[in-house]
Structure formats: structure tokens, C-alpha cells
Chains A and B, each alone.
Chain A
Amino acid sequence: MNRGLRVLLCCAVAAALTACAQSDNAQNPIERSVVRIVNHSQRGDWYSPWISQAPSYSGGSGFVIEGGLVMTNAHVVSDTRMILLHLGDDPTPHEARVKAIGHDCDLALVEPVEPGLLDGFPVMAFGGLPKLGSSVETYGYPVGGQRISSTRGIVSRIEKATYAHSGADSHLTVQTDAAINPGNSGGPVVQDGRVAGVAFQALAEMENVGYFIPSEVIEHFLKDVADGNYDGYPDLGIQVANLENPAARRASEMAPDQSGVRVEFVYPGSSADGYIVQGDVLLAVDGYPIANDGTIALDGLRLSYELLLDRRLAGESVPLEILRDGERRQIDVPMLVYSPFNAYRRLYDQMPRYYVYAGLVFVPLNTEVLVALGENLPEHILYELYFRPIEEPLAVRREPVVLLRRLDHAVNGYMSWYRDLVVDRVNGRTIESLEGLIDAIESNDGSYDVFEFAYYGRLGVLDRRAAESANDEILEIYGIPEDRRL
């Protein structure tokens, strides 16, 4: 998950932009198509989930595509309260809204509220994957001014890499030395007059290393949203290991002319579940033979075989060739979106779910909760989120619930343990979701509410009647408008 180098998303804090009024010269069609986007956003607070963080605003870029839409990065328009488009030298900002957004691929479509606003603007078309060493130009509104800026660079690397916006997804990425700075996000990267990609992130530790999302990923996004919904990338749901060691290939009963990767784990309920088993060797995807290091030869490059899976939409099948017990098999695997992986992603465009009972704050466990807890994260939280699904795949909780903190009150003040605890059982019922926890509490007619926490055998007890009668008072004291958001 951690790439070792800090990736910067390239949207700019608009406050850093300096106002300057200049007359605009005649622009080329590409420049006319590129727009400046200001997003007034507001995120939830995952530590005090009933409140919102202070509104903020940031700037990015976008470009006009067919259908009167603007394409940009998801991170440019995430958590929006209001989007304003700045079109060329038009001094009037125009309100817009998100038409579609894909956080796992960091792409979004924005449409102006005013119908036909973009009529007459040049529409940018998409090209293919640029060649290594070829030149590209970036267009956008990086920090330092309000006028469009373009820079030229060389395509220096093409590979699968992590998309920092979600923090958990990897797709095809193109690296360039064209300057990609805060504010460039969402702007087009152009080659031969066509969009080769969308600028989106840079490496903080390296100079002149920027990344753009290639047209292959963009096309996937556009196909996905064609029906009006974004389903997201499906996932095969397996872990694999390379088979570069000859002994490992023999152990997998591979012939000398065979190559591939060994399946180490199949996530229950994933696309592969029922089709692939641990120990299978994945020989080919979509007809492309997989090398022992997990790469395929594609468009003159050696790239991760997973990029072929990336080309599928949810619901489509992918043909695989596998080796099981020395026998080749051809299988078609329907590709599904594997929702448990959502817990590993940063969350946007949604407010945190929570439930406050007798001053105890319960939330579903996800990456945002980890971020809210910051350093010194308890090891059992780490285990529950990341390792339990692979250590104990059949016992994994559908939605782990955490007792995040306590709002002190006489009714709960003596509890020994009251923060950063994974809830195992409440009133005798195993907890699989926040809703399940609420039901276990609200359906209890016993004298006590009994909370059993996972790991270390911790136990918490409340006097039920006292807890129920204290609820409203605690909510009022701590300024919590509602006891839950589901």
C-alpha cells in the first residue's frame, strides 16, 4: 500500500492563486477547451462523525469533451458543495455539478448547470497510449496564476502504479517529465492534438516526475458510466506470487515451456471464488501468456498481467488459462466488483456512518478511521482491517465496528476500556455491521448492555435503563444533532 515515495495530488489550494486580470490573446483550440475548476468542498470528520470539517476550496483543471461535459480528476471535484467553472477569458464563473465520478480511477465528469454552456467550445478527442520517449504537452491551470499554462515533456515510463486519490487502487499510469504541478490536476496531456491522458499526480521526492492517467483508463471510465452509474473496477480477488524460481515451477508441475504466476489466496466471494483455487498457476489472461515475473508483452511493453483484467467492466468475463495439478484449463471468470476492498480506500462524497449510544461512539472500521486515529494505531485495529481477511477469511466480519471513543458521562465514566476497540459481540450477538450493533442494543430488554470486544477479552457493561435515559442528555451536552447516520 505504501509506495515509499509520497505522491502529491495535483490540485491546488485556490487561496494560493493570485488574482490578476490580463487580456487573453487568441487561443488555440486545445487551450480554449481547457477550463479552470474551483471546488468548494467539505468533508466529514471521522473522529467526530456527527460534524463536518470546515469548508475549503481548491483549484484544478479540466477539458471539454463530447456531450457538453468537462472531464477532470475525481480528486478535483470530490466532497463538493459547489463547483465553479472558469472558461477561458470569461470573467464569470459558471456553476457546475458532478455528472459521474470514479474514485478508484480518479476521474470525473462535470456538467455545467446552465444547459448548452459549452456549445461552441472545441471538443477534445482521445488518442492512444503514447510511445516511450515521445513528447507530450500538458495543459492546465497550475498554481501561480489564473492563465492557462502548457509544458512539454517526454514520456519516461509506462507501468501500473498506485492512484493516490483512493490510496488502494493501481492502474496503468504514464510518467512524464512535463511539469505537473498543483492545479494541473484534471488537465489534458496532449499528443498530436489528441488527449493522451489526464494529469493527476506527482512524486514529492523527485523533481519533474509527473503522472497522467492514460486513455485506456479513461475509456474504461467512460464505458462504465455510459449507463448513468459508475460501478468501478472489478477485481479478480486473488493474491499471486511470481514463479521465477525453477524449483517453484516444478512444485507447480509446470512444463519447461510454461510460465505464469501461482495463486496464493482467493478472497471468499470474489470473482475468482469458485473458479480458481489456491495453488493454481495463472498461465495466460485474454490470450496473453504471463511470464514468471507476472508480466505480459503488451504494445511493445512488459506490463503487469493485471492490466488486462483492468480492461474489463463489471459483469464482463475474462478468459483465463490456468494450470491445476499439472493440467491446463481454460476458464471464463465473470468479473465482479469486490466490495470488501472498499474498506482499504479513502472515502469521498459520503459522510461517516456512526451511532452514539450512552456516549459511546461506534463507527464502521475503514481507512478513514485509521487516518483519524493517526499514529500509534492499535495493532488489533491493523489486524482486523488488513490481516484478518487473509488470516481468517471465513471468520471475517462483513463490516467490523469499532468503539471509537467515549463522550464522558456518569453513565459511562467507569468503563475501563472505551476507545479504539473492535466490537465482537453486543448483548450476546456477534456484530457484523453498524446496523447489527444498533439492533443488538435496541432490541435488548435485559438489565445490562454487554459489550464484548475482540482481542484481549475486554468487557464493557452499561446499565441499560440508565444508558437509555442518559442518551438524549449526552447528545444535547455534546451538541450531537442525531444519534446515528446510517
Chain B
Amino acid sequence: MREPGAIQKSFGWVAWLTISLCVAAAAAAESPYKDKIVALRVTRQQFNEDRPWAKVNPEVRDGTAVVISKELLLTEASMIQNATFIQVEKNGRANWIPARLVHQDSAINLALLTVDQPGFFDDLTPAEIAKSAAARGVVHSVRWKERQLEVSNSRPGRVEVIESPFGSVHHAILRLSTDFSGGGWAEPVFADDKLIGITVTQDGQTATVIPAEILEAYVERAAGAGGEGGYRGFASIGGLRWQTNTDRALAAYLGLEGEPRGIFIRQVPWGSTGCPSLRPRDILLELDGHELDASGNYNHPLYGQLRFDHIVVEGHVPGDVVPARVFRDGQFIDVEIELRGYPSSARLIPWRRAESAPPYLVAGGLVFRELDGRYLNIWGTDWRNSAPNQLRYFFDLLGNAQSPERRRIIVVSQVLPAAYNIGYHGVANLLVRSINGFEVDSIADVERAFQQPRDALHRVVFYPNMTIREVVLDRATFEDATQAILSAYEIPERLRLPDGELPELGPECPAGTDSLLGIQ
């Protein structure tokens, strides 16, 4: 490997640069990877979550995509979200070529691109996706950087189950020790010239890699997206709250004899896998024929002990029904569990919002929007310590407490000061319970409620908080004041409704499976 420090000491910067260029060029010429990957450049522009009618400045990010067919490139979805322009460059030649998004799944965090320029794929070779990410010894992480092919000797570490970085599916990932600096931008990983994964994050020298099994499944399902049933995505165990059953006393108390095994189910949110088949205080012993140990692990044929979440990901799609065995009220019971995707949008307070625009409404200068993780992130990565207390505990305690009556939490993020709303200029980050007597759980509800005042006033009632519980506005001057405020603050649109419908969440769960918080 290069040792820039040592070389620099001997020859100085110029010498080192020259040598490293030579090394890179030589490596590219010989590399089996140079025609299997392309450099990816994405111009993207996110919404301004604080002023949801606006967008922030565009930014450019560079990463990698891997060629998987004579017309498709595979990369991670978070690379291309909110993209305004996508370009690719191949073979280290200075020639950025426009690319186009073909398909993306933000839940599993993968996307397919193509390039419309005729002949683009002619001198590229599709990478073969390995059967699995199980690999020993040295593997290669690869990327184009400043038109040089960089190949890192990487070492596979543990395989574990986590919630997909930038996604929402809980699945197995591969930890990799890599020599790359600043990696984590969709660098493909090869073993024996086969693609074993795509890097999604890198912390220090440890990379997190989506394994080949998931890449293969995604590509296959995306290819079938145009067929009957469309794209089916990935099932996830997300939302289910459980605890280990390692405690003999707990197992014995519940009546489960013998060695502790299985996991103790605590909460089953509406719309999650397990709803309505699993119940709080069940011990889930088997899922899809796999026995669960007391830590929630099962024996994966390739990866050994793996958390059970991965069972529903590998070889299954949402809608599949799998058998399960639970210990409930002192009896062993066989149940069937319908697998679900449980995307972030299923949650009462979504954590991610992929690339959809934030719905909002400006009414009388009050800015209404949905409470979600994107909004909390305006307080920075440390938002769990710095965001307003009430937003934090709502997110933590009620994040999965969706019900047919309540699918979203609406927040008044700020008040745009005007004479009309005097007295409320300090109102910010208060959670809305009702408007004009109507409970609201969507921006559409907010809009409808303002259209149905009960008298000469508009009344916005908040969840209990430490400041103000009701904002009252004059009805007669409401429309004019709103227009004047929109004009004064140069807001192009008063209202933005959600891009699509909320996901169907299926049958309701038994009562009491939501958060037990008493907020009504």
C-alpha cells in the first residue's frame, strides 16, 4: 500500500504525486474492475425543512456506481435522492455523461441508473453479483477518484443486523476494514472478481456494506417492477419492540420451562410485521422455521448467529405469510405472520422522508407542517439533546404510535410575524391537536379545518405544553392576512400537500400494542 508519509519524506510532494499517479495508472490498466464501475456525480438539492416552501443551495456529491448489466448501474439510493442532475464518468476519462434514475428503493437504500447515450455500455463489463457476501481473506473495495482507479485491500469483519443506514429495513450488513479514506459513497466491494456488496457508510476505517444477497434480490425485484404486482420491495421487522429473554427468572415467571429461549415481545405497532399475529408478552420462539435463541439470534447457514430480523428479509417479500411459534399465556401456539415493509412513512412520526417534499400550510402566518425526522434534523446531528423537549419525547415515545385515527403529528414550526398574528410571534414548535374543533393529523386536515370555522374565530389548540395552548385568529381577515404574509415573506405557495397516499397498514393490532403513553 502507499505510504505517502514515508515517500514524502524521501522525495517531497512533487515526487510523491508523480509516483502515485503512475501507480494508479498502472493499477487501472491491469485492474479487472476498471470497466465494471463508473464514477458517479450527483447534483442534488434538498428542501429547506425550516422554510418548507424553499430549497437549500444545491450541492454536489461524488460516489460510485457498479455496472450490473449492459444497461443498468447499481448504487445506493441515498446517493441520488433529491438529485437535480446525475452524471457518470468511465474509464478515468474526463467526460461526464448524463445518467438517469430507473428505479430506487429508499427503504433498502439501493437504486438503479441508466445512461441513454448510445454505446455508453459498449466498453463496460457487467459485474457478476456473488451468491453471498461470505468471503475470507482480502477483498477489494473499488472507486474512481479524480480519474484514478483506487483499489483498497479490505478485510471482511463481522456480519450483523442493523437498520439499513439511510433506509428502514433491518437486514444483515457486512463490516469491512478498509484502507480508503473518506469512503462510504457506494464503493463496490469485490471478492474473486464478483460483487459481494456496496459500501453505504464508513466510520474511520470501518465500512458498512450491503451484502450481495440483498443486491441480487433488489436487482431481481426491480427488474420485475413493471410486471404484475409491481415492485414488492423488502419486508422488515422494523417497529417491533422486544427484549431478550436471557433472564431465567423472566422466562420462568412467564411459565416457559427449560433453557430461556425466544424473545419477549413488548409492542407491536400497527402496520409492522407481526401485527396482528403477535401480542405484547408473547415469547416468539420460532419464525419461518428458524429457532430464536434468548438473544433473538438464529443460526444463518452462512453467517452463523444472526439477529432474527434478517429472516424476513432474505428470500421473502412483503405479503408473504410465514409460520411462527409463540409461547402465550402458558401455551405454545402456532401463528402465521404476514410480512410487511414498515417503511418510515408508516410511522406516526416518520424518521426519513426519502425525497418527497415536506407538506406544509401557511395560515394566518402560522406555518404548519408534519413532524418528522427531517424536521428534527434542523437542530443538527445532536438534535436529541438540542431539539425542543416536546418534539423529542413525542418522537421517542409516540414515533410508532400510529392508529387509524392518527397517522401524523402536525407542528406549528413558527409564526411569520405580522400585525394580524400579534401576540403569537413567539409561538414555535408546538404540536397541534385540533383546529376549529376538528382533530388534525395531516396538512389536508389542517386545510379543511380552516375552511370550517365554527364562529367568527379560528382556534388552533395545541397539545399541552409549557407556553400556550390555544391560538385564536380572526376569521374575517384571515384570508387577506394570509395573502399579505405570503407576499411579505415571498412565499410562492400557501399549501403543499403530500406527494402520495399514506401506506396501507392492514388490520389493526390488539388494543394496547401502541406506545402506552397516555396522550390522547
Contacts and interface: CB of A to CB of B under 8 A. Distances in A.
A457 B516 contact: yes
Nearest to B464: A390
A292 B423 CA distance: 9
A244 B422 contact: yes
A422 B450 CA distance: 40
A414 interface: yes
Residue from the set B248, B395, B421, B470 with the largest chain A CB neighbour count within 10 Å: B470
Nearest to A279: B470
A380 B518 contact: no
A459 B250 contact: yes
B246 A416 contact: yes
Contact of B472 (A248, A387, A462): A248
B464 A387 contact: yes
Interface string B472-485: 11100000000000
A379 B464 contact: no
Main secondary structure of the interface of B (DSSP, over half): mixed
Contacts of A375: 385
Interface string B442-471: 000000000000001111000111111111
A95 B241 CA distance: 59
A438 B474 CA distance: 55
Interface stretch (B108-116, B191-199, B386-394): B386-394
B396 interface: yes
A57 interface: no
A264 interface: yes
A473 to B, nearest CB: 17
Nearest to A394: B518
A333 B52 CA distance: 47
A241 B459 CA distance: 14
Interface in B209-244: 241, 243-244
A242 B389 contact: no
B: interface residue count bin? 35 or more
Nearest to A246: B474
Given A382-B389, A417-B243, A457-B241, A247 B266 contact: no
A243 B424 CA distance: 9
Contacts of A458: 243, 266
Given A264-B468, A417-B243, A247 B457 contact: yes
A414 B472 contact: no
B463 A379 contact: no
B517 A386 contact: no
A386 B518 CA distance: 14
B393 A379 contact: yes
B472 A247 contact: yes
Interface string A381-400: 01100111011100100000
Nearest to B384: A376
A298 interface: no
B462 to A, nearest CB: 10
A11 B473 CA distance: 49
B474 A456 contact: no
A194 to B, nearest CB: 39
A414 B466 contact: no
Contacts of A239: 466, 469
Contacts of A242: 423, 468
Contact of B280 (A241, A455, A457): A457
B1 interface: no
A455 B401 CA distance: 12
Contacts of B465: 390
Contact of B518 (A241, A264, A391, A447): A391
Contact of B252 (A250, A391, A448, A454): A448
B515 A456 contact: yes
Nearest to A377: B385
B241 A456 contact: yes
B393 A382 contact: yes
Given A243-B423, A292-B423, A461-B247, A383 B397 contact: yes
Nearest to A375: B385
Given A245-B422, A457-B266, A457-B516, A414 B469 contact: no
B389 A392 contact: no
A372 to B, nearest CB: 16
B249 interface: yes
A450 B253 contact: yes
A462 B253 CA distance: 9
A390 B473 contact: no
Given A391-B464, A457-B280, A461-B253, A386 B396 contact: no
A379 B397 contact: yes
Interface in A450-486: 450, 454-463, 466
A186 to B, nearest CB: 32
B484 to A, nearest CB: 16
B414 interface: no
Nearest to A411: B249
A251 interface: yes
Contact of B267 (A244, A246, A382, A457): A457
Interface string B417-437: 000011110000000000000
B437 to A, nearest CB: 13
Name the residue in A264, A376, A387 with the highest tally of chain B Cβ atoms < 10 Å from its Cβ. A387
A459 B249 CA distance: 11
Interface string A300-330: 0000000000000000000000000000000
B250 A460 contact: yes
B264 interface: yes
B519 interface: yes
A425 to B, nearest CB: 12
Contacts of A392: 518-519
Contacts of A247: 457-458, 472-474
B385 to A, nearest CB: 6
18 contacts: A239-B466, A241-B469, A244-B422, A245-B421, A251-B459, A379-B393, A382-B393, A383-B397, A386-B389, A386-B466, A390-B466, A391-B519, A392-B519, A414-B247, A416-B250, A448-B249, A459-B264, A463-B252
Given A244-B423, A265-B464, 16 more contacts: A241-B468, A242-B468, A247-B472, A248-B423, A248-B471, A251-B470, A262-B470, A386-B389, A391-B463, A448-B253, A450-B253, A455-B516, A457-B280, A457-B516, A461-B249, A463-B252
Listed from nearest, the 7 A-B pairs whose CB atoms lie closest are A244-B423, A245-B423, A379-B396, A457-B266, A414-B247, A247-B474, A461-B250
